[in-house]
Structure formats: C-alpha cells, structure tokens
Amino acid sequence: MVGATNNSNGELRVDPTMGTLVPAEHYGRNLFAFVVVLLVLAGAWMSDGVLEMSIVPDQAGLGSSWSAVPLGGQVLTVSTISPDGWPSFSVEEVGDTSGAEVVGAWILPTNQASDAVVGQSLSGVEYVRSYFPGQAIDASTALPFTVAAGEDQLLVIMWAITNCEALQVGEPVTVELRSKLGTSTSEELSKFSRPAAFFDTLVDTGICPA
C-alpha cells in the first residue's frame, strides 16, 4: 500500500502526510444549499400577498370629484386613494386614454381639498393650485410619488381633451404601481378618474361639440 508501512509488530502504519489527500468538507456547497432554502422560504412568504399593491379603496368613488375646465379644454379629477402594500410603494404614472392625455398628476393629503369656486379664467396647474389653496402643486407632490400603507390620500389628475370623437365614456384609467423590490403592476382606477365620465358636461361647457 502506498504511504503505509508495517512496523516490527506487524501493525500497519499510515504515512501522516496522506491526510492532506482527504477531501475537505464542502462548505461552499452547504452554504449554497442554505441560501437556496432561504430564497424558497422568502418566495413563499412573498407569494402570500407581501408584494401585492393597491390604491383603490373598497368604496371606490367616495370623496371623488370631476370638474370640467372650459378655458383649457380640460378635466380635473380628484379621487380618494387607500394605499395597501408592504411597507410602502410608488405610484408611478397614470396612463393616457383615447381622446385625452394626462397634463399632470399629484398626490395630496385628504385634508387639502377645497370647496371654493375656482375662477373661470384659470386652467392647467394654476387651476389645480386654486382648487387646493396653500398646497404645493409641484415636483414634490407629482408622480412618481411614494405612498405608505394605511394613509388615505388624494390622487389629483388634470386631463387635456385632445379628441372629443375618440373619447370613450367607459374606457378605464390605469395607474402603474411599483414596489420597493422593483416589481410593478397596473390597477384600474374608479370611474370618477375617467376624463369622459360625464360627457354631457363636456358638451354643456363647450369643451366638446354637441
């Protein structure tokens, strides 16, 4: 036997240097297996709704408003949102619809709404600012905006009517949401966020022809 000799008593003696040829324990493989188990457990945990996100409350439409802005051929929609996602996430953007495009979208505290009559000589951002006096209507409140679960807020959208013939009263408005881990989803907003929700008013105010 290579590396082994017999002593005078006939006992087998192994060369101690042979120990260096014994394979070391596979620490790297064990660590990899441990990481895989952790990832599987984390995946199962997240699949139970941890990454689910929503801003539409159960009573969609509560605290909502829809206003035609004749001067700019625009529509202002205000909807209460109820963020639900762990622990917070970003409201990225609101998608355009047929015949209307988003001029701006902001998220404001629910206690900032105003009942004041807005001047007919205003439009666009200035109209929004007069609707919410004292509230910042700028980059600090514009989308994308991070919201925390459990804090009701207002989603304010200013629409520009670009083609009355293309408007569809029932076309949904969607918003994109993004989690802290980078996953994203789209959600349909309530009907009060639709620029053509009250088409008769668009005609009555002269924004769209009869």
CATH architecture of 65-204: Sandwich (2.60)
- Angle at the Cα of 105 from the Cα atoms of 103 and 106, rounded to 5 degrees: 145
Measured from the Cβ of residue 145, the count of other Cβ atoms closer than 10 Å reads: 16
Structural domain boundaries in the chain: 12-50, 65-204
Token reading at 200: 């008769």
Residue ranges, the chain, pLDDT below 70: 1-50, 60-61, 112-120
Q: What is the pLDDT of residue 48?
A: 44
**What are the angstrom distances between the C-alpha of 78 and each of 32, 42, 145, 149?**
51, 38, 16, 19
What is d(CA 67, CA 191) in angstroms, rounded to the nearest whole number?
13
Its pTM stands at 0.75
For residues 191 and 129, the answer to whether their CB atoms sit within 8 Å is no
